[in-house]
């Protein structure tokens, strides 16, 4: 029974964290108070629910408990305007503020965390924590920085919001385009965390995150139908989500794109994603990063056999993407296409040039390991696999890399 309760608490945390944080932020106007009170409420649930049972409405229980925790903290710190402010907290009779351009509560909180006063990386990190409910270690892995550095970044972001008195309010329709790039970046990272979840005790795929990211991307697409990158991100998510059930084997091992059973892909999601890509091509507007990534995914998902993949088209799209986003990760992915067209030797040369920038990135070492294997350099390949396994945070990926390493003999 206790195991079932712990699983319920984990599920409720995934489902309710953002609602509790959004409710407290709206009421108290302070991200620190909202986050800490929400965390205390969940900690209280961990203590009480195994003995008392899960309440009929866990979300309402958590919100009520978190509100009490927040009020207790405000009283202790004595940082509000005396009895008048305290009365307002205890008797919240103010009418709710107008919803404005964004009616969805979670999406509203994302836009608020993505305020232009914050640096882009800070917006993304703060939103992943406050809205996505990801832990600091999870976010640090997504950014390839230390946990301490990420914790400081999030703390400074909340302090800046407080010091600059950035209001908790809904952006107007005119403000939305200026906020969209940060919001799309957040949704992309939330989706990626769900699609390739990190942590030793985490399922390799967290469907609740991918599903929620797609839902929010659809809302943005409906709100900004002319925004090509919003359409591109949605298409990319759909084409990636379509392959979800084929990505992990029954034994819990990652199944690579070339080895997946394509008959199990979700054909409706594939068709919808392809339609969005075609619409953006027909617009005759220079594509952005997400649109190019969606086009690459469309090439992969347009054939029934991986051997028929048009790698020359994939490479051409990566060449286009490198001009927009000359990041080492994009260069790494481009090298994979080079290997399919020109063989592993020139691809390995391109990958080795990224050593300084991607030394802590597991996919870099996994790619090197595979290229070295194909070149017959078993000892070097094994060492690269060992490093990739050490750095990888996804259980399915670790299982796959371990098997490939052990096959070297």
- pLDDT of 318 reads 98
- pTM for this predicted structure: 0.77
- pLDDT of 203 reads 65
Residue whose token pair is 């390799």: 204
Instruction: Give the DSSP letter string of 14-44.
Output: HHHHHHHHHHHHHHH--HHHHHHHHHHHHHH
Distance of alpha carbon 339 from alpha carbon 335, whole angstroms: 6
Segments of the chain with pLDDT less than 70: 1-3, 78-104, 168-170, 197-205
- pLDDT of 86 reads 47
Q: Are 168 and 25 in contact (CB under 8 A)?
A: yes
pLDDT in tens, 3-48: 588 888 888 887 788 788 888 887 887 888 888 999 899 999 999 9
Domain residue extents for the chain = 2-90
Residue whose token pair is 């919803």: 99
Residues in the chain: 409
What class is the 2-90 domain? Answer: mainly alpha
From the centroid of its chain, how far is CA 139?
9
- pLDDT of 79 reads 54
Neighbours of 200 (CB within 10 A): 8
- pLDDT of 99 reads 44
Distance of alpha carbon 69 from alpha carbon 342, whole angstroms: 61
Torsion region of 166: left, alpha or beta (phi above 0 gives left; psi -120 to 50 gives alpha): beta
Distance of alpha carbon 197 from alpha carbon 210, whole angstroms: 10
pLDDT in tens, 95-125: 444 445 555 677 777 777 888 888 878 887 8
Distance of alpha carbon 255 from alpha carbon 339, whole angstroms: 19
């Amino acid at each position: 029974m206790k195991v079932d309760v712990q699983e319920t608490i984990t599920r409720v945390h995934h489902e309710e964290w953002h609602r509790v944080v959004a409710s407290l932020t709206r009421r108290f106007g302070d991200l620190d108070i909202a986050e800490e009170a929400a965390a205390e409420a969940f900690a209280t649930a961990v203590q009480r629910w195994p003995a008392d049972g899960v309440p009929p409405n866990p979300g309402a229980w958590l919100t009520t408990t978190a509100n009490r925790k927040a009020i207790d903290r405000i009283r202790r710190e004595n940082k509000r305007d005396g009895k008048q402010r305290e009365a307002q907290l205890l008797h919240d009779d103010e009418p709710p503020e107008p919803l404005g351009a964004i009616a969805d509560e979670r999406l509203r909180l994302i836009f608020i965390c993505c305020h232009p006063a914050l640096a882009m990386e800070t917006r993304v990190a703060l939103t992943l924590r406050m809205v996505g409910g990801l832990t600091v270690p999870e976010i640090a892995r997504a950014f390839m920085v230390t946990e301490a550095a990420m914790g400081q970044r999030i703390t400074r972001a909340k302090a800046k919001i407080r010091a600059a008195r950035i209001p908790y309010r809904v952006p107007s329709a005119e403000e939305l385009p200026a906020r969209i790039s940060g919001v799309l970046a957040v949704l992309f990272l939330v989706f990626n965390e769900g699609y390739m979840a990190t942590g030793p005790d985490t399922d390799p795929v967290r469907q609740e995150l991918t599903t929620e990211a797609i839902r929010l991307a659809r809302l943005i697409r409906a709100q900004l139908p002319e925004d090509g990158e919003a359409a591109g991100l949605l298409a990319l998510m759909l084409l990636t989500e379509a392959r979800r059930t084929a990505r992990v084997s029954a034994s819990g091992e990652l199944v690579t794109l070339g080895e997946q059973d394509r008959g199990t892909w979700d054909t409706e999601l594939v068709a919808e994603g392809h339609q969005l890509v075609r619409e953006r091509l027909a617009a005759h507007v220079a594509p952005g990063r997400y649109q190019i990534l969606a086009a690459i995914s469309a090439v992969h998902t347009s054939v029934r056999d991986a051997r028929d993949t048009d790698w020359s088209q994939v490479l051409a799209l990566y060449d286009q993407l490198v001009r927009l986003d000359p990041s080492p990760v994009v260069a790494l992915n481009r090298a994979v296409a080079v290997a399919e067209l020109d063989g592993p030797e020139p691809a390995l040369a391109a990958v080795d040039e990224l050593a300084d920038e991607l030394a802590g990135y597991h996919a870099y070492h996994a790619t090197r390991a595979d290229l070295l294997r194909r070149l017959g350099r078993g000892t070097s390949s094994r060492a690269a696999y060992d490093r990739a396994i050490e750095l990888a945070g996804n259980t399915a990926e670790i299982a796959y890399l371990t098997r490939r390493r052990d096959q070297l003999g």
